[in-house]
Amino acid sequence: MYLSGIYQDDGKRDAFMEAYKETGKRLDVGQSCVRFRKLDDVPFEVIGDAIGAIPVDEFVEVAKRVRGPGSSQLES
C-alpha cells in the first residue's frame, strides 16, 4: 500500500510509525510503501488515520510542487 502523504511530511510519518509500532504488528515500510503479508496484518485504524490526516487539497498542492510546472496530470 502506498501512503504518499506520510512521505511528504516528516511529522506525519513519525506519528504513523509510532502508532503502527504500538499495534505490535510487524512493520515493513519503505519511504511511502507499507507492505503486508496477509490481511490480518493490516492495522486498518492506523492506516485510516494516516490517510485522514492529510487533506486532499494539501496533498495535491504538495504533489504539484514536487512534479513542477507543466505537469498536466494534476491540473484540475
User: Would you say residue 55 lies in a domain?
Assistant: yes
Residue 26 CB contacts under 8 Å (≥ 6 apart), including other chains = 37, 41
pLDDT digits (tens, 9 = 90+) for 9-56: 889 899 999 999 999 999 999 888 999 999 999 999 999 999 999 899
On the question of pLDDT at 71 being above 60, the answer is no
The answer to whether 22 touches 66, Cβ cutoff 8 Å, is no
pLDDT for the residue numbered 7: 83
User: Would you say residue 20 lies in a domain?
Assistant: yes
Total domain count, the chain = 1
User: Would you say residue 73 lies in a domain?
Assistant: no
On the question of pLDDT at 69 being above 80, the answer is no
For residue 66, the 8-state DSSP code is H
pTM over 0.85: no
Q: Which amino acid is at 39?
A: L
**What average pLDDT does this structure show over 54-65?**
88
